Chains A and B, each alone.
Chain A
Amino acid sequence: MSDSGSPDERGKSAAPDAQESLKAARSAEKINEVLRSAQQRTYTQEDLDLIKEKDKPLYDKFLALDKGENGVDLGQNLTETVERLDAELVKYENKTEDNSGDKISEGKEEYPGKNDFEYFKKRLTDLKMSDSDWQKMLKDVAENGLSGRGVIEWYDKGNDSDSAKAILDNRWDTQEKFLAGVKDRLKNPKSVVIKSSGDPMTGAGASEKTEKEPLSKVFEIADFALLAIPTYLESTSPLKEDPNKNYDALKSFIDSKNLREEDWKFMLEDVSANGQGTETESGLFKGFRTIDNDDATYHDDMIKFYRKYPTLKSYLEAAEGHKVDDPTLHDFPTQRVVATIQNYFPNGGTTETYKKVSETADTEEPLDTIVDITRLNINDMGDPKEKERYKTKFVELIDGYLGGSGYHRRYGVGINEVSSVLAPEDPADSMDLPQIVEEFYEYTGDEDEIVKNESENEIRKFGDEVQGIYDQENPVAEPEKTDDDKKKTPHTDGPKKPGESDGGETYNPDAGGSGPEVPTEDSTDTSTVDEEEEFVADSEAKKEDEPEEKDDTVKETGSRDESEKAKETQESLRSHDESLNILNDLAKWGFKVKGNRNFKERIEQNLKRKYRREYGDHLQVHLKNIEVKNGVASISFLVHGEKDKDSGAHTNEFMLKGFAKDGADKTIGATTKIGETDIQDSEANRDAVKKMFQKSVFNELFEPLVLDQTDIGVEDKNSELSRLAEYVKETYLDSDFEKPIDKRRAAKYAGYRNKIQAEKALDANWTALMASDVLSDDEKTKLKTLRNK
């Protein structure tokens, strides 16, 4: 209203306030404060409309201000400009002081970039001292000094205390405040009073003048922090106890573990090759992922690390040398090393590790078996994602089965070897991965059964009892021994007929009602009298061993249903026994069969899978006979179309033979016995079948199941003893008993797959070894003592 006056006049009346503010500012910082304060004022659109309505030119100026997202922050710009000027002034001042011969750090250890604030700031920041430690250090040093602790000899106590007190007096209780304070002091040196006492006797010439604090004084405080912090951390801080940040603690930690060079080597080799496991796995490396979740990076790092420090000694020497420039070992690899050692040797020394290794030793056999039977070629799988999924799954299975990774290498089977199995060079070695995984599960399941051996024996005993009763009640189960039967036995071009009784060990899955049903005349006729007699005799022998009262009990309670169940049980057990018989037969001829369960079924499954893959699902395959004779293992099987199942027409019989005895002749012969009305009876077909089986089927059927075919005959037996002698001399006789790594290597040198296999061979050939002359009497005595034989 009447007291408001015109806008222009009122604007002029307001301007002096702004001018006063500017006048009072006097420095960039103050101006910046005023500007920031002015910028705090915001306007609504309605407000702006009002201004626009009243004073359009002013409104336009306001909108044009170079501020905010689209323009330059003038306040910040001003601050930075002034800071640049300050930094330049400091540089010029230092240059002037240096030129004048005023050595700032005279008599003290110099470092690159001294008197350079930015360098100082970086060095201080890199030390990564917490503010709580900072405060603790300042109070401690202010009170006690540093030299009193004997850690900085050239720094006298007074200067340390004075510097620490000066920092505390300035209330630079955080490093951020300290840096800001030092920076400010460098820009704006405070005034100090310089007193001169004059003549000591008369006092003449005494004077007192005020001068600016020299920059050297400021840097003296900076120097204190820069050099005192690491020394203090090393000597007094709780970090002294941290092996990750203190050399002495690191050395003490490693010393406490009583690590040997071979432990160091083992640890790094193992981790770099196999990783550290996962949180969900058991084993030494459980929880290691809490340190590093990235396995790949970890492996790479560990491999590099191993190359750099191949010995424990070299690592410790490097750490000791490193601490001179970096007392907190900030840039030295400690964390992973300390953590890995702790995981490998939680209770110190090597005992714990090797104990764990030995505890898991029993798992080696399944792994080896699985790896060996895994002749798969995942590259054949069409879907890359599916392929990768299976691959990952398979590795996980193996990994998990061992109770954590890292041990594969110990058993001679590393990840690389597993990988080579996953992608074999020869596609003929391939198998379907799903099948492998399935077999893996089956195998591990079997292992569990073996653990329950006692209870299984109980079941078997019961089954034998029931079988005795069943046999008495069902005499038809006994095959008749007639000459006609023998004539009906199919024959092949192989060396012997299946079931032919010429002193060889035979097995016929169709005998006694077990094994796959083959509804052909040939197949049913393959039952041999000798085999059945053997089996019955065996059953009778088992029966004789059983208490008779149990037979009575079963007789009293036996109903038809129970009899059928018992029959099924007995058939299952018989099948199992037959597998064992095959194993025994194979073993007699030097075939060391891996895996002792479901042997027959596994061979048949392999056979079916292979055949179907080649010829399609319309063909049925049945295992007919397995024979091991004179070092020759043969398998005969039947192939027929689905529609010919009942008629027996179009049935082919094939026989595969593996020659084990003569090392020079290990090729596989494939012979065929063609059914009478076989439409596939052609030379080309036979050749094709032969070719296919020569290369792949034997590998699939036998090789995975046979560890070693060389230890046949007297000569080979002697070779075996020689290998064992070499092994025991390297391990038991010439070395300390507890040297698992040496055992492993010795086993390899002696030609064994690993130490487990060597130990098993030692057990198996113990008597022969003791009776041989490959070891002296003294050596035998010592060996007996060490192995408690």
Chain B
Amino acid sequence: MATLLEEVIDLANTVTALNAEQKERILKVAPTLSESDLENLKKMITDVRDSFDSAKHEIEIREEVASKFKIYTKEKKVEELHETEAKEQSEDVAKAETLLNNI
């Protein structure tokens, strides 16, 4: 069973929001801490992780919305273009038929 110190170190290594230097400082200072300080440090690292995950989640959704919106917009424009083309084609046909009828 992992000790509290090991849990803290493992946790620090897995949190993406911490940069290498921060992780190094944690690794350096953690062995000198008391159990209560370790508990406190663990909690703070966990908070960072949770905050990161929340931010990450928002980023992912926004990125997804942004990318899909780009596609949706493009699709919409294509559809509108098709409609316009069809309409113009229809008008041209009608005009041609009118001319033919008048001959």
Q: Which residues of A contact B (CB under 8 A)?
A: 1, 4, 7, 10-11, 13-15, 17-18, 21-22, 25-28, 31-32, 34-35, 38-39, 41, 43, 47, 50-51, 54-55, 58, 61-62, 65-67, 74-75, 77-78, 81-82, 84-86, 88-89, 92-93, 95-96, 99, 187-188
Contact = CB atoms under 8 A, between A and B. Distances in A.
Nearest to B73: A50
Contacts of B78: 1, 4
Contact of B17 (A41, A82, A84): A82
B9 to A, nearest CB: 14
A22 B65 CA distance: 16
A14 B64 contact: yes
Nearest to A84: B44
Contacts of B18: 27-28, 82, 85
Interface string B36-58: 01001100110110011011101
Nearest to B75: A4
Contacts of A96: 29, 32
B7 to A, nearest CB: 16
Contacts of A77: 51, 54-55
Majority SS at the chain B contact face: helix
A26 B22 contact: no
B14 interface: no
Majority SS at the chain A contact face: helix
B16 to A, nearest CB: 7
B21 A7 contact: no
Nearest to B30: A92
Give the 10 A-B residue pairs with the shortest CB-CB distance, closest first: A14-B67, A18-B63, A38-B62, A27-B19, A78-B51, A81-B51, A74-B55, A85-B44, A28-B17, A92-B29
B76 interface: yes
A14 B63 contact: yes
B97 to A, nearest CB: 29
B68 A85 contact: no
23 contacts: A4-B78, A11-B64, A11-B68, A14-B63, A15-B64, A18-B60, A27-B18, A27-B22, A38-B58, A47-B69, A54-B68, A54-B72, A66-B54, A74-B51, A77-B51, A78-B54, A81-B47, A82-B18, A82-B51, A85-B45, A88-B40, A92-B32, A99-B32
Contacts of A81: 44, 47-48, 51
Nearest to B24: A212
Contacts of A88: 40-41, 44
A287 B46 CA distance: 62
B59 interface: yes
Contacts of B59: 18, 21-22, 31, 34-35, 38
B87 interface: no
Contact of B56 (A15, A22, A99): A22
B28 to A, nearest CB: 8
A78 B67 contact: no
